[in-house]
Amino acid sequence: MEKLICDNKICSNYFFRYPKNISRHNYCSRSCAVAVNNHFSPKRKKAIHACFLCGKTTSQRQKFCSLSCRAEFQRKYSRSELLKLIKNIGQELGRTPSRRELGSVSFACIREFGSWNKAIIAAKLNPHRSDSQKMYKRIGVRAKDGHKCDSISEAIIDNWLNNQGISHNRNVQYFGTNYKADWSIGSNIFVEYFGLAKDCSRYDISIKEKKRLAKKLSINLIEIYPKDLYPKIKLDKKLDFFKIIRTLE
Check residue 27 and give its pLDDT.
Answer: 86
Region at 128 (left for phi over 0; alpha for psi -120 to 50; beta for the rest): alpha
Q: Select from 54, 8, 63 the least CA-distant residue to 31.
A: 8
Axis crossing angle, helix 79-93 with helix 104-113, rounded to the nearest 10: 130
Q: What is the pLDDT of residues 144-182, one digit of tens each?
A: 899 999 888 899 999 999 988 888 999 999 988 889 999
Half-sphere exposure of residue 64: CA atoms within 13 angstroms, side-chain side? 11
Which residues, given as ranges, of the chain have pLDDT below 70? 41-49, 52-53, 55, 58-61, 73-74, 128-140, 199-200, 239-249
Q: Which residue type occupies 142? A: R
- Which H, E and C letters describe the chain, residue by residue? CEEEECCCCCCCCEEEECHHHCCCCCCCCHHHHHHHHHHHCCCCCCCCEECCCCCCEECCCCCCCCHHHHHHHCCCCCHHHHHHHHHHHHHHHCCCCCHHHHCHHHHHHHHHHCCHHHHHHHCCCCCCECCCCCCECCCCEECCCCCEECCHHHHHHHHHHHHCCCCCEEEEECCCCCCEEEEEECCCEEEEECCCCCCCHHHHHHHHHHHHHHHHCCCEEEEECHHHCCCCCCHHHHCCHHHHHHHHC
Check residue 131 and give its pLDDT.
Answer: 40
Check residue 130 and give its pLDDT.
Answer: 46
Q: Which residue type occupies 233? A: I
CATH 3.40.960.10 fits 141-248, yes or no: yes
Q: What is the pLDDT of residues 45-70, one digit of tens each?
A: 666 667 766 767 766 667 777 787 77
